[in-house]
Structure 1
Amino acid sequence: MSKRAVVLIVDDEVSNIEILSAALEEQHEICFATSGREALEVARSISPDLVLLDVMMPDMDGYEVCRRIKADPLLADIPVIFTTALGDQEAEVRGLEIGAIDYVTKPISPVIVQARVRNHLEMKQMRDQLAALAVTDALTGLGNRRKMETILNQEVMRLARTEANLSVLILDIDFFKRFNDSYGHTAGDRCIAMVGAALARAVRRAADLAVRYGGEEFACLLPETSHDEAMEVASNIRERVRALGIPHSQSEAAPHVTVSVGVATATCFNGADPMSWIKAADEQLYIAKKAGRNGVAGRIFGRAELQELHAA
C-alpha cells in the first residue's frame, strides 16, 4: 500500500498493546486506546483504516464498541478484528453478527496478526477503490452526485457536533444547450471537462469537495467556511471559467462560456436535513440566472429557513 495504514489497537492491558504494536509498527501507523469510550473518541478523530479490538474490557466491552462503530455512518466501513482469549464459538458468532470481520485469539501470534491485518487492509483498499469508481464522474474525474450527497450527509452530521458553518455552491454553465446545439456534443463534452478542471483548481483545500452534479451542473461542498470565504471561492470559479476563453456565440451573457453560481451558508445543527443546503444554493443559483447569468448570488440561511426548505 502506498500510504501507511493506520491501525487502532484497543485493549485495557498495556502489555497486549505493546505486543500488537511490536508486531505491526514496522508496516503500519499505530495508535491505541485503553478503554471503549476512549476508542470511540480516537476513532472519530482519526478515522483509522482498521481496529484491533479487545472483547473483555471493564467500562464498555468490545461488542458494544463494535456495535457503536458500525452504527456510526462515519466509521461503519472500518474493519474490526476482535482480539480475545474467549475460545467458544458462540462468542465468535456474536462478534461477527454485530459487524466484526475476523477474530485473533490470545495469546497473540505476531505472524498471524500481521497476516490477517495485511489481508483485511488489502481487501479494504480494493473495496475503497471500487467505491471510488462508483462515485466518480468519468468525463471530468470529479466526484458525482452520489458522492456529493453521501459526503454532504456525513459533513452535516460531523459539523453539527460543534455547530460549525457549512457552505454549498451550485453552478451551471450558462446557455449550455445552445452551446451543444451550435458546436456539437463532442465540443460540449470538452467544455464540461474544461469547466470541471477549472473548478478543481479553484477548490483546493483537502476538506473541500467539487463534483459534477449532473449534465452541465456542478457543486462544491466547503466545510467550516464562512459566507464571505465561500463567495470568494464562487467568484474565483467564475473568473477561472471566464479565463478559459471558450467561444460561445449563442450566449446572451458573454461571447465566451460563463457560469452562474449560487451560494448557501448555514450553521449545522442536530436534525438538519443535508439536502436543505442543496435547495438553498439552488435557490440562489436561480437568482443569479434571473439577474442575467455570468454572476454569483448567495446569502446566509438561518435554522428556521433550512427547516422550511426541508418541509417544502
Structure 2
Amino acid sequence: MHSNAQVLIVDSDPLNRVVLENTLSEDCRVALQDNCEDAIEFIATHKVDLIITDISLVDSQGVTFIQRLKNNSETYKIPVIIVSSSSSYSDEVKGLQMGAVDYITKPFSPLIVRARVKIHLVLKQKSDLLEELASIDGLTELPNRRLFDKHLADQWQSCRAAGNTLGVLLVDIDYFKAYNDMYGYGAGDECLIKVARSLKETVDSHQGFIARYDGVRFAVILPGHTMEQIEVLLYMMHDAIDKLLLPHKSSPICAHVSISTGIVLIEKEFSLGVAKCLQYANSALSQAHVNQERMVLLMR
C-alpha cells in the first residue's frame, strides 16, 4: 500500500509516535517529529503526502500546527489526520473546521488508523494526478499556460527578493500556419511535439523552465542567468531545431522548420510587473518576425 508515500507523524508524546510508526511502517515511509518548528522545517525540505498530528500542538505564538499548515500556500494541500485523546464533539468539529481531513480518538485501533491512512493517501494521489493533468498541455506534454503563469509569478518574487536576474523568452515556430496548410494538421501536431521535445531538452540543460504558452508559441523562464548565458542557450535552441531538419517548403526564410525568439532580461526593473514583461517579450518576438531576425533581446 503506497510504499513510496511519506507520512509525517507530529506528536509530543513519544509513546504515540512509536505506536503510530509501528502501525504504518510496513505500508509507507514514516517520519517522526515532536514539535511544530522541526515539523515545518522537515516539510520544507521533504515531500510529505500526509500528516498525523495531535490537535494540542501549538507554536510559541500560540498558533496551532494545523493553522500554520493551512495558512501556507506551500503546505495547505497536505491532508492532516488528527489523533487526539479528546472524544469531545466540539473538539472534533474544531479540528475539522481548521482543515483536518479526519479525526481519530485515542486509544485507537491500529487497523482503523491503517485503513483511514490508506483512504486519504489514495485520495491525495488522485488529487495530485488531477492537478498535474490540469497543468500539463495534452499535446506536447509540457507545462501549460496555467502552470507557466504560476511559475513566473513565483520566480518574479523570488528573483526580486534575492536580487537575481530573470530572463523571459517567447519562442514561435516560423510560418506555422503555412506549414499546416501544406502538410496538414496531423503533421502540424507532430511538428509541435518534436519541437517541444527538442526545446525542453535544451532548456532543461540550462536549469530553465519551458511551457506551451499558446497555440504555436512556447515560453521559457531563466532565473539567475546573465545575458551571455541566455545568448548561449538561444543559439543552442535554434541549433537544436535546425538539426531536426523538418521540411518546410512554405517558409520564405528557411527550407526547414525554424523558430524565432523574443527575450526580456530583467536585471533590476521588477517594478514593471509580470504583465508588462510579457508584453515586452511579445513585442521583441514580433520585431524578430518583422525584421526576419532569429532573436531579439530587450534589457530592462
Stretch deviating more after TM superposition (64-73 or 81-90): 64-73
* Equivalent residue, structure 2, for 1:103: 103
Deviation of 1:218 (Å)? 0.9
Show structure 1 runs of 5+ residues with no match.
Answer: 302-312
1:200 matched to 2:200: yes
Stretch deviating more after TM superposition (62-71 or 244-253): 62-71
Stretch deviating more after TM superposition (269-278 or 222-231): 269-278
Deviation of 1:27 (Å)? 2.8
* Equivalent residue, structure 1, for 2:50: 50
* Equivalent residue, structure 1, for 2:258: 258
- State the alpha-carbon separation in 1 of the partners of residues 270 and 49 from structure 2: 27
Deviation of 1:123 (Å)? 0.7
The TM-score normalised by the length of structure 1 is 0.81
* Equivalent residue, structure 1, for 2:9: 9
* Equivalent residue, structure 2, for 1:298: 297
Deviation of 1:211 (Å)? 1.9
* Equivalent residue, structure 2, for 1:93: 93
Show structure 2 runs of 5+ residues with no match.
Answer: none
- State the alpha-carbon separation in 2 of the partners of residues 66 and 144 from structure 1: 32
Stretch deviating more after TM superposition (84-93 or 100-109): 100-109
Deviation of 1:108 (Å)? 4.4
Could you say what the CA RMSD is over the residues aligned between the two structures, in angstroms? 3.2
1:181 matched to 2:218: no
Which of 1 and 2 has greater Rg? 2
Contact 2:145 2:214 in 1 (8 A): yes
1:30 matched to 2:46: no
- State the alpha-carbon separation in 2 of the partners of residues 60 and 296 from structure 1: 54
Aligned CA distance change for structure 1 residues 8 and 162 (closer, same or farther; 3 Å): farther
Stretch deviating more after TM superposition (204-213 or 9-18): 204-213
Q: Deviations over 1:28-72 (max 9, x none)?
A: 233333222332232233241111122112535997322232232
* Equivalent residue, structure 2, for 1:136: 136
Q: Deviations over 1:127-186 (max 9, x none)?
A: 111222222222212221112223333444566665555443321111212222233322
Contact 2:262 2:296 in 1 (8 A): yes
Q: Deviations over 1:201-245 (max 9, x none)?
A: 223369753321111111233455555444433332221111111
Aligned CA distance change for structure 1 residues 227 and 186 (closer, same or farther; 3 Å): same
* Equivalent residue, structure 1, for 2:21: 21
* Equivalent residue, structure 1, for 2:214: 214
Contact 1:179 1:250 in 2 (8 A): yes
- State the alpha-carbon separation in 2 of the partners of residues 63 and 50 from structure 1: 20
- State the alpha-carbon separation in 2 of the partners of residues 27 and 114 from structure 1: 8
The TM-score normalised by the length of structure 2 is 0.84
SS at the partner of 1:218?
Answer: strand
For this pair of structures, how many residues does the alignment match? 300
Stretch deviating more after TM superposition (51-60 or 281-290): 281-290
